[in-house]
Amino acid sequence: MKLITEVAAQAGIGEEHLELYGKYKSKLSPSLWEDMKNKPDGKLVLVTAVNPTPAGEGKTLTTIGLAQALNAAGVKTVAALREPSLGPCLGMKGGATGGGKSQIIPADEINLHFTGDIHAVTSAHNLLSAMIDNHIFQGNELGLDPQRIVWKRVMDMNDRSLRNIVTGLGDGNGAVRESGFQITTASEIMAVLCLCDNLTDLKKRLNRILIGYDQEGQPVTAEQIGAVEAMTALLKEAVKPNLVQTLEGTPVIVHGGPFANIAHGCSSVIGTRYALKLGDVVVTEAGFGADLGAEKFMDIKCRQAGLTPSAAVLVVTVKSLKYNGGVPKNELQTENRTALRTGLSNLERHVENLGKFGVPVLVAINHFEGDSPEEITDVVEACRRLNVPAAISKVWAEGSAGGQELASELKKLLDHSDTERFAPLYENEIDISSKITKIVREIYRGAEVNFSPAAKRSLAVIERLGLNDLQVCMAKTPYSFSDQPRLLGAPEGFTVGIRDITLSLGAGFAVVITGNIVTMPGLPAKPAAEALWMDEDGVIHGLV
């Protein structure tokens, strides 16, 4: 592992701009931005994927491997990634730092506390929560309706027992009311941190956060609670991007990690901007499949930040296509070209969808050991028929060497890419229900949108408050284009049911809830935490 000062130096960052966290992690000081801000931007590449399956597609892996391969091919490249959340890391998922020969390091520290950014979000969030309940306790000058507080508490832990709780029990402990905890990555503050331009913009956005309604039904914001200055102070360091490296020494900015369902699921705008000044190419990723992640990346992140992607890399695996073709999880190892060909419909539609944003697409076939040559050929052939370039990626087993084809295809694409064709899917000016309908029809390919009574009431509130210029953030199952997890492949003609619409006014979007979205995961029967152990030298095992 190189010292982070070395990695920084190779990326052209002077030591005076580093705020070290140990020897292998560093925050980048705002002084670096002042130094670089007039430099031209590099080209932005989004790594996205087909609909996720239990087999894992390897989006983070591909992002890291591709960045390594581009550097090996002489293209100065920086990766911009999300920070893993501790809860899932100790729960079901394990670490989120890539794998094999394409990892970001120090993986254990990145997966655990890293530089404390998520903890800072937790603190800022819960300060607001405590000040809301204290406001009610101290006399409720604002006339808050305790039954209509929408701001919950957060914790970076998978803890299902905290999903629905009653607080304030006992004598002198405030108003008894129903509430709950979300995981920290689901906090609107995480979304705000990842969309803001700087500390000043962060503060503005925090001020706008809707915390509930008063007894007249009027919205009440964080600004009115008087918490925002202290929250900003708590986020002062978290707003600075973090620099780490890959196993091959490629610089990586790891910053922010908002939920991909009730938030937009991309690493921070600030981190992306730094990366674009440091690299000729920046490889970044978005959560879930392209129906959710890429759509939100384009429609929310790029729109708000004025970013223009030059290309999208769509990660697919033979297993994921077989799964989409109807093969159950435990039979994915077996060759099944019929199912594979059925499942290709999923890939085709994502390719087509990405075209709607005016972004050229490269398909990355993430190779697994059990894949048969014939299956791989089927995918390659399908891409040829679709007239979209494809490359086999072996970055897990081989690092940059296994990403040469991918890097070379991407270079060709970037050489001819015309960013002027990029456009978000919908105009910001159309109203919220039209935005939803457009996404459902053009990306998901549903026939109808069915708004529940609660959703209709929310639309009326949005209308009344004049908030139609918000973007929409779809909270939908990632496993299907539809809102039904088992509808695999490329379903059509379905109806998407909108259960509710909530307001993330600081983030600037309305969260459109389809189905039952869990914002506080639970632990499985065998939590990943149980497999973790530390040897006598303090080295952590069993995390990734």
Q: Which of residues 461-520 bind a copy of itself (CB under 8 A)?
A: none
Residue 17 CB, nearest approach to a copy of itself (Å): 11
Residue 192 CB, nearest approach to a copy of itself (Å): 16
Residue 318: helix, strand or coil by DSSP?
helix
The interface region with a copy of itself, picked from 135-143, 188-196, 205-213, 391-399 by CB under 8 A, is 135-143
Residue 416 CB, nearest approach to a copy of itself (Å): 43
Q: For residue 60, say whether it is annotated as part of any ligand binding site.
A: yes
| Contact (CB, 8 A) for 290 and 535 | no
Q: For residue 59, say whether it is annotated as part of any ligand binding site.
A: yes
Q: 19-48: which residues touch a copy of itself (CB under 8 A)? A: 19-23, 27, 30
φ, ψ for residue 161 (rounded to 5)?
-65, -20
Q: Which is nearer to a copy of itself, 76 or 119 (CB)?
A: 119
Most distant CA pair in the chain, distance: 71
Contact status: 534 vs a copy of itself (CB under 8 A): yes
Q: 295-324: which residues touch a copy of itself (CB under 8 A)? A: none
Residue 264 CB, nearest approach to a copy of itself (Å): 25
Q: Which is nearer to a copy of itself, 121 or 300 (CB)?
A: 121
Q: For residue 493, say whether it is annotated as part of any ligand binding site.
A: no
The interface region with a copy of itself, picked from 261-269, 291-299, 491-499, 534-542 by CB under 8 A, is 534-542
Q: Which is nearer to a copy of itself, 163 or 411 (CB)?
A: 163
Residue 107 CB, nearest approach to a copy of itself (Å): 12
Say how far apart CA 308 and CA 290 lie, in whole Å.
17
Q: For residue 58, say whether it is annotated as part of any ligand binding site.
A: yes
Which x/- pattern over 186-225 shows residues binding a copy of itself (rule: CB under 8 A)? -------------xx--x----------------------
Say how far apart CA 208 and CA 401 lie, in whole Å.
48
Say how far apart CA 533 and CA 80 lie, in whole Å.
29
Q: At 287, which amino acid appears? A: G
Q: Which is nearer to a copy of itself, 129 or 514 (CB)?
A: 129
Q: 153-182: which residues touch a copy of itself (CB under 8 A)? A: 153, 155-170, 172-175, 178-179
Say how far apart CA 192 and CA 425 lie, in whole Å.
22
Say how far apart CA 219 and CA 238 lie, in whole Å.
28
Residue 515: helix, strand or coil by DSSP?
coil
Q: For residue 258, say whether it is annotated as part of any ligand binding site.
A: no
Location of structure tokens 């009027």 = 218
Q: Which is nearer to a copy of itself, 162 or 186 (CB)?
A: 162
Contact status: 375 vs a copy of itself (CB under 8 A): no
Q: For residue 55, say whether it is annotated as part of any ligand binding site.
A: yes
φ, ψ for residue 519 (rounded to 5)?
-105, 5
Residue 267 CB, nearest approach to a copy of itself (Å): 21
Q: Which is nearer to a copy of itself, 29 or 468 (CB)?
A: 29
Q: Which of 144, 125, 142, 232 is nearest to 184 (CA)?
A: 125
Burial 81-112 (b: 16+ CB within 10 A, else e): bbbbbbbbbbbebbbbbbbbbbbbbbbbbbbb
Q: For residue 401, say whether it is annotated as part of any ligand binding site.
A: no
Tokens of 376: 């791989």
Contact status: 119 vs a copy of itself (CB under 8 A): yes
User: Which of 3, 14, 54, 137: binder of a copy of itself (CB under 8 A)?
Assistant: 137
Q: Which is nearer to a copy of itself, 420 or 536 (CB)?
A: 536
Contact partners, residue 4, CB within 8 Å, separation at least 6: 18, 20, 23, 24, 25, 26, 243, 244, 245
Q: Which of 310, 146, 127, 130 is nearest to 229 (CA)?
A: 127
Residue 361 CB, nearest approach to a copy of itself (Å): 40
Which x/- pattern over 52-91 shows residues binding a copy of itself (rule: CB under 8 A)? ----------------------------------x---x-
Say how far apart CA 528 and CA 396 lie, in whole Å.
22
User: Which of 54, 147, 218, 229: binder of a copy of itself (CB under 8 A)?
Assistant: 229
How many residues bind to a copy of itself according to rule CB under 8 A? 76
Residue 116 CB, nearest approach to a copy of itself (Å): 4
Say how far apart CA 395 and CA 372 lie, in whole Å.
18
Contact status: 334 vs a copy of itself (CB under 8 A): no
CA atoms within 13 A on the CB side of 35: 14
Q: Which of 45, 297, 265, 85 is nearest to 97 (CA)?
A: 85
Q: Which is nearer to a copy of itself, 133 or 299 (CB)?
A: 133
Residue 521 CB, nearest approach to a copy of itself (Å): 10
Q: Which is nearer to a copy of itself, 92 or 461 (CB)?
A: 92
Strands 43-49 and 309-316, by their bridges, are parallel
Cis peptide preceding 251, ω within 30 of 0: no
Output the known binding site for ATP. 53-60
